[in-house]
């Protein structure tokens, strides 16, 4: 057994365990953290397939950005566990059916063809460079289209959630920065209590 195979089985075992814990963990924060571990193990599997760029991007995008926001939201939620578990058995048939359907679909796809594992790339081969070349030449239009769709999604998300509350007071940074001593400060000569200008 080669070292790569050992690494594969260890990562795959951690991945399966973490994925199982995502759906069985009682606390949603723990579930999110297990999901982080699952992504990490998946990245390790991709590294074993010589897809180093995709592996690092998986960690960067999902672990570093998406899951942080997930965690952020889940921690802020006030979750009532009893209420969440209520009606579990009522939904089991539907959820089980959908799950079974997905499993059948994936089995059909995976069993229909045998994907050979990629051999070691030649020396000097850069996965990142190849991916960049293909994305910006052959697939430049689909790539740009995906970017525009994402941009629209960002704009839409902000537009949907943005509301200006009337009672909130906002600060205008430009006005604050343009404040000078002349506009704010006035030197007043002390006239004293009796108006003669002298001290007590």
Partner 1 sequence: MMEFAGTVQDAFRGWFGPVWGSHAWIFAKSLAGIVAVLVPLLLTVLYYQLVERWVIGWIQVRRGPNRVGWMGVLQPIADAIKLLLKERIVPSSASKGLFFLAPIVAVAPALAVWAVVPFSPGWVIANVDAGLLVVLAMASMGVYGIIIAGWASNSKYAFLGAMRSAAQVVAYEIAMGFALVGALMAGQSLNLTEIVMRQGGDWGFLEWFWLPLAPFLVVYFIAGLAETNRAPFDMAEGESELVAGFHVEYSGMSFAVFFLAEYANMILVSTLTSLLFFGGWLSPLDFAFLREVPLAGLLAAPGIHWLLVKIAFFMFLFLWVRASFPRYRYDQVMRLGWKVFIPVTLVWIAVTGVMMLEPLASTPPFSLWFGK
Residue 45 near partner 1 by CB under 8 A: no
Question: In angstroms, what is the C-alpha Rg of the chain?
Answer: 30
Q: Counting contacts by CB under 8 A, is residue 72 touching partner 1?
A: yes
As measured in angstroms, the least distance from the Cβ of 75 to partner 1 is: 5
Return the closest-CA partner of residue 175 out of 183, 163, 165: 183
Q: Pick between residue 77 and residue 115 the one whose CB is nearest to partner 1.
A: 77
Least Cβ distance, residue 141 to partner 1 (angstroms)? 20
Number of residues lying near partner 1 (CB under 8 A): 27
**Nearer to partner 1 among residue 92 and residue 151 (C-beta):** 151
Q: Which residues have CB under 8 Å from 31's CB, separation 6+?
A: 21, 22, 23, 25
* CA torsion angle 122 5 32 57 (round to 10): 0
Q: Of 157, 137, 135, nearest to 146 (Cα)?
A: 135
Closer Cβ to partner 1, 105 or 130, answer by number: 130
Name the one residue in this structure whose structure tokens are 């089991």: 92
Angle, helix 3-24 to helix 28-48, in steps of 10 degrees: 160
Residue 126 touches partner 1, criterion: CB under 8 A: yes
Residue 71 binding partner 1, by CB under 8 A: yes
Judged by CB under 8 A, the residue of 33, 35, 38, 42 near partner 1 is 33
52 is a contact residue toward partner 1 (CB under 8 A): yes
Cα–Cα distance for residue pair 120/132, rounded to 1 Å: 20
168-197 footprint of partner 1 as x/- string (CB under 8 A):
---x-x------------------------
CB atoms inside a 10 Å sphere around CB 10: 12
Q: Which residues bind partner 1 (CB under 8 A)?
A: 2-3, 29-30, 33, 36, 52-53, 56-57, 59-60, 63-65, 68-69, 71-72, 75-76, 126-129, 171, 173
């Amino acid at each position: 057994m080669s070292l790569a195979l050992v690494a594969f089985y260890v990562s795959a075992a951690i991945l399966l365990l973490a994925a199982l814990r995502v759906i069985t963990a009682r606390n949603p924060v723990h579930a999110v953290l297990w999901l982080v571990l699952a992504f990490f193990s998946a990245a390790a599997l991709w590294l074993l397939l010589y897809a180093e760029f995709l592996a690092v991007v998986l960690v960067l995008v999902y672990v570093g950005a998406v899951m942080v926001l997930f965690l952020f939201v889940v921690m802020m939620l006030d979750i009532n566990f009893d209420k969440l578990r209520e009606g579990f058995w009522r939904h089991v048939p539907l959820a089980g059916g959908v799950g079974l359907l997905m499993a059948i679909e994936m089995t059909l796809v995976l069993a229909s063809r045998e994907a050979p594992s990629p051999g070691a790339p030649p020396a000097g081969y850069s996965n990142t460079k190849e991916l960049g070349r293909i994305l910006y030449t052959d697939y430049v239009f689909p790539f740009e289209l995906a970017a525009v769709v994402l941009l629209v999604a960002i704009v839409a998300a902000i537009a949907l959630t943005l509301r200006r509350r009337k009672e909130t007071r906002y600060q205008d940074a430009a006005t604050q920065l343009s404040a000078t001593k002349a506009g704010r400060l006035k030197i007043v000569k002390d006239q004293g209590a009796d108006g003669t200008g002298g001290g007590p």
